[in-house]
Structure 1
Amino acid sequence: MKTSHLYLFLHVLLAGGVSVRAFDPVTTTVAIGVGATLGRMILNYFRESCDSKWIAFNLTGLETDLENKLFGQHIASRIILKAVSGFMGNENPKKPLVLSLHGWTGTGKNFVSKLIAENIYKEGMDSSFVHVFTSTLHFPHPSQYLTYKSQLQQWIKGNVSNCERSMFIFDEMDKMHPGLIDSIKPYLDYYDKLDGVSYRKSIFIFLSNAGGDRIIQTALDFWNAGRNRNEIELKDLETLISLSVFNDNQSGFFHTSLIDKNLVDFFVPFLPLEYQHVVQCALSEMKVRGHEPDFEVAHKVAKDLVYFPKSERAFSVKGCKTIESKLDYYT
């Protein structure tokens, strides 16, 4: 029912559709029944539900967002678009989509997760079907490791039972207790159902700084060789990243069966950002705030950041992470 039709229905009903005589128990009961039904209709109309009204993939929207809002990440943009569009366009996927995003802070990992959510769920990151876990917040005590495993399994099972098109984002995987993520390994595997629940239409996204050093070293090698960063390909980094995090005993992926059993569909590298990308981030933030692009201010913001190596000033240490606060200072 469209909103305009709903309002018309309410108007007709309230204006003359129900007449209640004082203290008439039969009529009053009918009126109460109609009111309760009407209340449920209104509540259900505005309440988010697991259907196409609230969950619908916008391919054009994601493609446009990646092109116009994510800077310096040609590998990540291409992989994310193909992986998400292919998965969402498949009515019968064999397993959930599992993406692992790697790179230093400020390079766009959290931002990409937000873009994916906004182009699948009407409510974006505020959707009740998008769930974010942060290691230092949700799993802070190593001594409670076994409790966390049980809670995590129950939480995911309960939410996927409620909506098969659920999304789970695990932030700070490099700070997660090694082995904890293995508790959800069965949910990411090639099963039709587990205890009556199908996880095949869900999306799991892991965010991590782990592997960032390998990514930076590769970018530096290209920089020092005078090669364009756009020449860097997934094959130059994916194996390096997976081996790095698998053998890092400080990482949540340490010797995990998710890697050993090839359940991660893509290890997505996020390259360190150059000066030009920081300028683009500043201009984009101005647009978000409804301001006209000011290249002079954008360059002031970019110059104010710290870059490495010190001699070449090739890459921003914090990527675009502090752009918002810097703009507040310069505008």
Structure 2
Amino acid sequence: MKVAHLYLLLHIFSSACVLVNAFEPITTTVVLGVGATLGGIIWKYLNEKCDQKWIAFNSTGLQADLERKLFGQHIASRIILKAVSGFMSNDNPKKPLVLSLHGWTGTGKNFVSNLIAENIYKEGMDSSFVHVFTAELHFPHVGQLDTYKSQLQQWIKGNVTNCERSMFIFDEMDKMHPGLIDSIKPYLDYYEKLDGVSYRKSIFIFLSNAGGENIVQTALDFWKAGQIREEIELKDLETVLSVSVFNSKNSGLRHASLIDKNLVDFFVPFLPLEYRHVVQCALAEMKARGLRPNQEVADLVARDLVYFPKSERVFSVKGCKTIQSKLDYYT
């Protein structure tokens, strides 16, 4: 076995142990689970390389995916395409790309993260260079905050050392312990290197429901004024969104120095979805399943959802989140 491969094996095993120790006490079940999946992880690490064969940004593909698969998000689509395309085309960025995606559940935040990964990494979300952290799963105990901070720093440093084009996705930021995310602030700053490691080519994406109320209220105000949603611009939301997230009690970015120091490149608002968007989601899901899109079924699925305000039924309460299960019932 090559020395480099041996090093990777040791790195993988130590990383797995770090995660287990950092996120939950070791149990027989966890150890068995780690052992069962370690083979697949090792296969990835030994076959997937941090080179252009495995990492190659497809700007045209991302644009097409955003246009054809993401519905009702004209602001988010435009920001994501420009931000990611500009960053990936820059051979010498001054800092990592940091995106903070905000909006109610089911509006497309996780979906967009998947689209970005699929158009950068050959393995998409299954790439060993894409790392997803979920607040309630990985950081459940406030009493272990100091441990989480230390282990999170180690995990990010280790993975960026392995591949500078790494992507880190932090889901449920509204449930994250305040102060935890600031532990990685140095990695998001304008440093050329930290302890010999450059983080400038990595991508960090934060997903949160925080600020969703402000986004919804803006959408409602436009609707009540008789303006179409496509007239809503980033300037109508960006400032109020960043202030809301910074001051929100339910935000992992509460009083975060990441915001104070302007290290978040874009606060990306995801608007509440209307009935027509839910129909589009249902039709797209049928197509993804290899089924012939059926307008009648899509309408049945869309009508089955809850909308607000109650009398006008303008916006879907859960966006497109329950479309898959609803479609199972109607097909």
> Which stretches of structure 1, 4 residues or longer, exceed 2 Å deviation after superposition?
43-46
| Count of aligned pairs between the two proteins | 289
Q: Does 1:253 align with 2:253?
A: yes
Distance 1:124 1:160 in 2: 17
Secondary structure of the structure 1 residue equivalent to 2:251: coil
Distance 1:44 1:120 in 2: 16
Letter in 1 for 2:215: I
Q: Does 1:96 align with 2:96?
A: yes
Deviation of the 1:46 alpha carbon: 7.4
Q: How does 1:1-331 map to 2 (within 5 A)?
A: 47-331=47-331
Distance 2:250 2:317 in 1: 22
1:50/1:229 CA distance change after superposition, 3 Å: same
Distance 1:161 1:238 in 2: 33
Deviation of the 1:86 alpha carbon: 0.1
RMSD: 1.1
Secondary structure of the structure 2 residue equivalent to 1:53: coil
1:223/1:45 CA distance change after superposition, 3 Å: closer
Letter in 2 for 1:253: L
Distance 1:194 1:147 in 2: 21
TM-score w.r.t. length of structure 2: 0.86
1:99/1:44 CA distance change after superposition, 3 Å: closer
Distance 1:264 1:132 in 2: 18
Secondary structure of the structure 1 residue equivalent to 2:207: strand
Letter in 2 for 1:220: L
Contact 2:44 2:128 in 1 (8 A): no
Deviation of the 1:251 alpha carbon: 1.1
Distance 1:55 1:139 in 2: 29
Distance 2:129 2:204 in 1: 12
Secondary structure of the structure 2 residue equivalent to 1:110: helix
CA-to-partner distance for each residue in 1:80-110, whole Å, 9 max, x for gaps?
0000000000000000000000000000000
1:45/1:112 CA distance change after superposition, 3 Å: closer
Deviation of the 1:249 alpha carbon: 2.5
Distance 1:139 1:304 in 2: 35
Letter in 1 for 2:93: P
Deviation of the 1:45 alpha carbon: 11
1:320/1:53 CA distance change after superposition, 3 Å: same
Identify the range of structure 1 (245-254 vs 234-243) with the bigger mean alpha-carbon deviation. Answer: 245-254
Deviation of the 1:250 alpha carbon: 2.6
Structure 2: where are the runs of 5+ without partners? 1-42
Distance 2:238 2:108 in 1: 18
Deviation of the 1:293 alpha carbon: 1.1
Distance 1:317 1:44 in 2: 39
Secondary structure of the structure 2 residue equivalent to 1:95: coil
1:139/1:120 CA distance change after superposition, 3 Å: same
Letter in 1 for 2:211: G
Distance 1:147 1:68 in 2: 42
Distance 2:280 2:254 in 1: 36
Secondary structure of the structure 2 residue equivalent to 1:216: helix
Distance 2:252 2:60 in 1: 34
1:144/1:298 CA distance change after superposition, 3 Å: same
Secondary structure of the structure 2 residue equivalent to 1:131: strand
Distance 1:102 1:186 in 2: 23
**Identical aligned residues as a percent:** 83
Contact 2:210 2:250 in 1 (8 A): no
1:219/1:190 CA distance change after superposition, 3 Å: same
Deviation of the 1:44 alpha carbon: 9.8
